[in-house]
Amino acid sequence: MSKLSFPHTFRDAGLYQQALTHRSAGRPNNERLEFLGDSLVGMLVAELLFEIHPRADEGQLTRMRAQLVSGAALAEVARALDLGEALRLGMGELKSGGHRRESILADALEALIAAVYLDAGWDACRSCVRTLFAERAAQLRAPEKDAKTRLQELLQGRGLSLPVYELVSSSGDDHAKVFDIACIIDNPPLRLPGRGSSRRAAEQQAAESALQQIKELFSNER
């Protein structure tokens, strides 16, 4: 296992080794540490975003935090640290490229952050998370609300009933399914289609179409 470039020097080498040990390599492994690290990362990233983006509202902060602590984002941080090369994996995971797998990298990063907390306490853990995430947090822009949320808020603002999303059909093999959805609104009476590779994606497309039509209708009322 290669040495990891990480912004904390461990006093307890056993904690460090455990944080980098996947369950496929036996026990003790990093599963319990990952559980603790998940909460620590969420809390400390929330604090960081709260400070860096003073004008962002609750919803915007929530969406930014979701971006920073997603599996993909955590794996990106882990790759920047060359964490994959330091992992202890079982033979099966080694052969299948587990050191590159997003979920394994993300879990190991969370486990390492928990290990920092147990090794040196809150302040050291907080400093570590800030070192790892501050630049990424500063670069984030408050993301726009998704189409379904915007449609819901638009209808609620006018005292109208909320849309219903109906699955019309799904087709294709399991690895390449296509979903057709209808977004149904009572007032104004609309039924807008949406298609996507997941039900969520299809609903978002249908909601976007509904938004455009409703805005045109409301504009013509003026």
Question: E strands of 69-222, at which residues?
Answer: 164-171, 178-185, 190-196
Partners of 195 in the β-ladder: 180
Cβ within 8 Å of residue 143, ≥6 positions away: 60, 63, 64, 67
Cβ within 8 Å of residue 56, ≥6 positions away: 49, 64, 142
How remote is the C-alpha of 21 from its chain's centroid? 23
The pTM of the full predicted model, rounded to 2 decimals, is 0.66
- Tens of pLDDT, residues 14-36: 999 999 999 998 999 999 999 99
Inter-axis angle of helices 58-68 and 122-139, nearest 10: 100
Instruction: Name the residue with tokens 């455990």.
Output: 18
Domains of the chain: 13-139 (1.10.1520.10), 147-221 (3.30.160.20)
Q: What distance in Å separates the CA atoms of residue 37 and residue 115, rounded to the nearest whole number?
A: 8
Three-state DSSP at 184 gives strand
Query: Which residues form the catalytic set?
Result: 38, 110
Residue 61 phi, psi dihedral angles, 5° rounding: -65, -40
Output the pLDDT for position 129: 96
Q: Which residues are annotated as a binding site for Mg(2+)?
A: 34, 107, 110
What is the pLDDT of the chain when averaged over all its residues?
A: 90
The tens place of each residue's pLDDT in the chain, 222 residues long, gives: 445 678 899 999 999 999 999 999 899 999 999 999 999 999 999 999 999 999 888 888 988 999 999 999 999 999 999 999 899 989 888 888 888 889 999 999 999 999 999 999 999 999 999 999 999 999 887 656 788 988 988 888 888 889 999 999 998 887 778 999 999 998 889 999 999 988 989 999 999 999 888 888 777 665
Cβ within 8 Å of residue 119, ≥6 positions away: 8, 10, 11, 12, 15, 16
